[in-house]
Structure formats: structure tokens, C-alpha cells
Amino acid sequence: MQRRTFLAGLTGLLATTSISTFAAEEFGLEQGVEYKMVPQPQSTAPHAKKVVEIFGYTCPHCYHLEPSLHEWLKTKPKDVYFERMPVVFNHPNWIFMGRVFYTAQELGVLEQSHTPFFDALHRDKKELFTPEEIARFFTQFGVKEADFIATFKGFKVDQLVRQAAKMTRAYGVEGVPAIVVNGKYLTDVPMAGSRDKMWTAVNQLTNQ
């Protein structure tokens, strides 16, 4: 009985491996080279196709990815849903910047503030590393300092950051920027070989 179960399992494994290999050959991508499977695949519902950029505001590589990301967004298929997620490793700096992202989201100014905040940190070399400094920065988007700080320290943002930390682990993120496609595949610039090749891989993976 055990031997029959083992053989059945082995047959299934070989079939799965063959399918995976065929898919890689069909799309011109090799698992473990241009992309990898995430440890804990996630649902993309209600979206059939979903691309998640995982980034950090203090990460220079993430900042330099922005122009190519914006170009990709202009040409991505309409049925591909895109969202950003701040990486939240177990370190105060990542947690802090995750709170900044979700504070902007909760206050409804994320689209206006995302690029200017990135520019302020990397291009302009502004020191925005306390809630008070960042709250003053966000006043240009019509946000009151007191509202920013209250939201930054609030329960909702805390829960969103905890969820992002959970997803960082589930996706197996080891560095940023990273792109997760359809909740199953992870790729990045080093794996793909260049930014252009990474976006090509993303487009191919959305159809797998």
C-alpha cells in the first residue's frame, strides 16, 4: 500500500515537473533563473491577473526602477491589475517606511505623494526620518500635520503594516525591488538580467 502510494506520488511529481518545464520552454523562461516560485502562493481574487511591485522608499534600486515601471504601466494589458506593496522586513527602518506608505494611502494622497517622496529622499537628499518631518512634507498635498501623525500612529496603519510583513514572508522576498506575478511567481532585475528583460518576463508570466 505504501509502495503504491509512493509510486502514485512520484508519478504526479514527474507530471508536474514536466508541465512546469514545458511552460518554461514555451514562454522562454527558466524557473530558478529568470523567476522563482513563491513559497506560499497567494490568491489574486477578484483579479485574474495581478502584478505586485514590492519596494522600499529608502532603497536606491527601487528609486531607479521607477522610470521603467512607469513605462511598463503605460503599456500593460488592461486585464492586468497592478499594485504597490512596501517591503516590511523585521527591522524598524522598513517598518517605519511601510507606515509612511500606508498613511499616505489611508489619507488618499498616495498617487500624489509617491514620486515626490521618493524624489525628496533620493534626488534631493532630504532628511525625512521622523513622523514630524514627514508630516510637514505632506502638507503640500493638503494633509494637516496632526492628521498625518494620528493616522501614522493609528490602528489601521499598524494592521496594514503587519499584513505587508506577512506577505513579505509569504512571497519569500529577500531583496527589493521585486515583482510578484499572479501571486505565484517572483522576479527581479538580477534574475532577469536587466530592467527591460524583467518587464518582458513579467508580461510572459502574467499569461502562465
| Residue showing cell 502562465 | 208
- What's the number of CA atoms in the CB half-sphere (13 Å) around residue 158? 5
Phi-psi category of residue 172: left, alpha or beta, with phi > 0 → left and psi -120 to 50 → alpha: left
- Map residue 82 onto helix, strand or coil: strand
Whether the CB-CB separation of 27 and 207 falls below 8 Å is answered with yes
| pLDDT, tens digit (0-9, with 9 covering 90-100), for 111-139 | 999 999 999 999 999 999 999 999 999 99
CB contact at 8 A, 85 and 54: yes
| Whether the bond into 92 is cis, omega within 30 of 0 | no
Question: 86, 72, 52: which is closest to 160 by C-alpha?
Answer: 86
Task: Compare 190 and 2 and report the one with higher pLDDT.
Answer: 190
62's enclosing H/E stretch is: helix 60-75
- Decide: 149 and 137 in contact? Cβ < 8 Å: no
Res. 26 pLDDT band, cuts 50 70 90: low
What pLDDT, on the 0 to 100 scale, is given for residue 15? 45
What average pLDDT does the structure give for the chain? Answer: 91
**For residue range 70-92, what is the model confidence (pLDDT) as tens digits?**
999 999 999 999 999 999 999 99
